[in-house]
A and B are shown apart, each in its own frame.
Chain A
Amino acid sequence: MTALPSRVPGVLGNTSLSRFDAVIIGSGAGGGATALALTEAGLNVCVLEAGPNYFQGLDDPAPGNPKPLFANDELAMSSRKLIHQQARVEPRTFRPSEADGKRTVIGEVNSLPKTVGGAWVHADMKVPRFQEFDFRLGSELGDIPGAAFADWPLSYAELEPFYAEAERIGGAQGLAGADPFEAWRSGPYPMPPGAPMFLSEVLSVGTRALGLTAYPYPGLQNSRPYGGQPACNDCGFCSGYGCSINAKGSVNHLRRALLSGRVQLRSECAAVRLVTDATGRTITQVEYLDPEGHLDNVAGDQIFLAASPIESVRLCLLSDPGGPGLGNSSGQLGRNLMFHHQTISPGVYPINFHGERGKSVSAGFSDWRGVPNDPDRPLGGIVEFGTNSEKIADAIQYAELGFRGEELKSFLRSSPFGSHIAVLIMQGEDAPQSTNRIDLDPEVRDINGLPVPRITYQPHAFELRAREVYGPKMIELHGASGAQFAFISPMYDGGKTPTGRHIMGTLRMGTDPRLSVVDANCRFHDIGNLYSVDAAPFPTSSGYNPTLTLQALAIRTARAAAG
Chain B
Amino acid sequence: MLDLSLKRRTFLRIVTAGGVVAIAPWSSGCGNAGSTAEPLARFFTAGETTTFAALAEAIVPEGGTVGALGSNAIQFIDFFLAAFDNDLPPIYARGPFSGRQPFPGEDGGPSSAFPENEFEVWRPLSRLQELSMRIELYGSASVLNGDINAPLVPTSPGLRSLYREAAKALDAWAQAHDFADLAAVPLGQRLAAIDATPTEFRTEFVKHVLQGMFAAPEYGGNQDGVAWRDYQYDGDSQPIGHTFYDPATESERDNPEKPNQIRDPRWPGGPLEPSVESFIATITLVQGGTRFY
Chain B residues whose C-beta falls within 8 Å of the C-beta of A478 in the assembled complex? 290, 292
Q: Are B243 and A232 in contact (CB under 8 A)?
A: yes
For chain B residues 252-293, which have a beta carbon within 8 Å of chain A? 252, 254, 258-264, 267-273, 275-277, 279-281, 283-284, 287-293
Q: Which of B96, B270, B280 contacts A70 (CB 8 A)?
A: B96
Q: Are B238 and A414 in contact (CB under 8 A)?
A: no
Q: Are B243 and A234 in contact (CB under 8 A)?
A: yes
The CA-CA distance from A487 to B292 in the complex, in Å, is: 11
B91 at the interface (CB under 8 A from A): yes
Chain B residues whose C-beta falls within 8 Å of the C-beta of A533 in the assembled complex? none
Q: Are B95 and A71 in contact (CB under 8 A)?
A: yes
Flag A104-124 by CB within 8 Å of B: 1 or 0 each: 001000000000000000000
Q: Are B270 and A391 in contact (CB under 8 A)?
A: no
Q: Which of B59, B210, B269 contacts A350 (CB 8 A)?
A: B269
Known contacts A75-B211, A351-B263, A445-B148; decide if A89 and B128 are in contact (CB<8 Å). yes
A392 at the interface (CB under 8 A from B): yes
Q: Which of A194-202, A497-505, A541-549 contacts B (4 or more CB under 8 A)?
A: A194-202
Q: Which 7 A-B pairs have the closest CB atoms?
A: A487-B289, A233-B241, A71-B95, A352-B269, A72-B236, A86-B132, A487-B287
Q: Are B92 and A82 in contact (CB under 8 A)?
A: yes
Question: Closest CB-CB distance, B36 to chain A, in whole Å?
Answer: 18
Q: Which of B67, B98, B293 contacts A409 (CB 8 A)?
A: B67
Q: Are B123 and A69 in contact (CB under 8 A)?
A: yes
Q: Which of A52, A484, A486, A489 contacts B126 (CB 8 A)?
A: A52
Of B64, B65, B210, B293, most buried by chain A (CB within 10 Å of CB) is B210
The CA-CA distance from A419 to B126 in the complex, in Å, is: 34
Q: Which of B98, B153, B234 contacts A354 (CB 8 A)?
A: B234
Q: Which of A74, A399, A444 contacts B215 (CB 8 A)?
A: A74
A377 at the interface (CB under 8 A from B): no
Q: Are B213 and A395 in contact (CB under 8 A)?
A: yes
The CA-CA distance from A490 to B283 in the complex, in Å, is: 11
Chain A residues whose C-beta falls within 8 Å of the C-beta of B281 in the assembled complex? 485
Chain B residues whose C-beta falls within 8 Å of the C-beta of A194 in the assembled complex? 243, 252
Chain A residues whose C-beta falls within 8 Å of the C-beta of B211 in the assembled complex? 75, 79, 392, 396
The CA-CA distance from A51 to B125 in the complex, in Å, is: 11
Chain B residues whose C-beta falls within 8 Å of the C-beta of A370 in the assembled complex? none
Q: Which of B94, B129, B291 contacts A485 (CB 8 A)?
A: B291
A469 at the interface (CB under 8 A from B): no
Q: Are B214 and A395 in contact (CB under 8 A)?
A: yes
Known contacts A88-B135, A410-B276, A486-B290; decide if A391 and B231 are in contact (CB<8 Å). yes
Question: Closest CB-CB distance, A543 to chain B, in whole Å?
Answer: 24
Does more than half of chain A's interface fall in helix, strand or loop, or is it mixed? loop
The CA-CA distance from A415 to B98 in the complex, in Å, is: 26
Chain A residues whose C-beta falls within 8 Å of the C-beta of B82 in the assembled complex? none
B179 at the interface (CB under 8 A from A): no
Chain A residues whose C-beta falls within 8 Å of the C-beta of B60 in the assembled complex? 405, 408-409, 412
Give the contact-size bracket for chain B: 35 or more
B9 at the interface (CB under 8 A from A): no
B242 at the interface (CB under 8 A from A): yes
B247 at the interface (CB under 8 A from A): yes
Chain A residues whose C-beta falls within 8 Å of the C-beta of B238 in the assembled complex? 71-72, 233, 235, 237, 244-245
Chain B residues whose C-beta falls within 8 Å of the C-beta of A86 in the assembled complex? 128-129, 131-132
Q: Are B242 and A236 in contact (CB under 8 A)?
A: yes
Known contacts A198-B259, A348-B280; decide if A405 and B264 are in contact (CB<8 Å). no
Q: Are B231 and A413 in contact (CB under 8 A)?
A: yes
Of B92, B119, B241, most buried by chain A (CB within 10 Å of CB) is B241
The CA-CA distance from A236 to B59 in the complex, in Å, is: 29
Q: Are B237 and A235 in contact (CB under 8 A)?
A: yes
Chain B residues whose C-beta falls within 8 Å of the C-beta of A479 in the assembled complex? 290, 292
Question: Closest CB-CB distance, A401 to chain B, in whole Å?
Answer: 8
Q: Are A396 and B210 in contact (CB under 8 A)?
A: yes
Chain B residues whose C-beta falls within 8 Å of the C-beta of A376 in the assembled complex? none
The CA-CA distance from A538 to B276 in the complex, in Å, is: 44
Q: Which of A88, A224, A357, A392 contacts B242 (CB 8 A)?
A: A357
B135, closest chain A residue (CB): A88
Known contacts A196-B261, A198-B262; decide if A233 and B234 are in contact (CB<8 Å). no
Q: Are A352 and B268 in contact (CB under 8 A)?
A: yes
Flag B94-127 by CB within 8 Å of A: 1 or 0 each: 1111100000100010000000001100010011
The CA-CA distance from A485 to B292 in the complex, in Å, is: 6
A514 at the interface (CB under 8 A from B): no
A sample of 6 inter-chain contacts (CB < 8 A) reads A73-B236, A82-B123, A86-B131, A268-B126, A395-B213, A447-B143
B121, closest chain A residue (CB): A69
Chain A residues whose C-beta falls within 8 Å of the C-beta of B149 in the assembled complex? 91, 106, 443-445
Q: Are A234 and B92 in contact (CB under 8 A)?
A: no
Flag A369-409 by CB within 8 Å of B: 1 or 0 each: 00000000000000000000001100110010100111111
Chain B residues whose C-beta falls within 8 Å of the C-beta of A231 in the assembled complex? 243, 245, 252
For chain A residues 456-492, which have a beta carbon within 8 Å of chain B? 475, 478-479, 483-490
The CA-CA distance from A232 to B210 in the complex, in Å, is: 30
A358 at the interface (CB under 8 A from B): yes
B152 at the interface (CB under 8 A from A): yes
Flag B176-215 by CB within 8 Å of A: 1 or 0 each: 0000000000000001000000000000001100110111
Chain A residues whose C-beta falls within 8 Å of the C-beta of B289 in the assembled complex? 475, 485-488
Q: Are A91 and B153 in contact (CB under 8 A)?
A: yes
For chain A residues 182-212, which have a beta carbon within 8 Å of chain B? 194-198, 201
Q: Are B273 and A291 in contact (CB under 8 A)?
A: no
Flag A227-262 by CB within 8 Å of B: 1 or 0 each: 000111111110000001100000000000000000
The CA-CA distance from A226 to B56 in the complex, in Å, is: 48
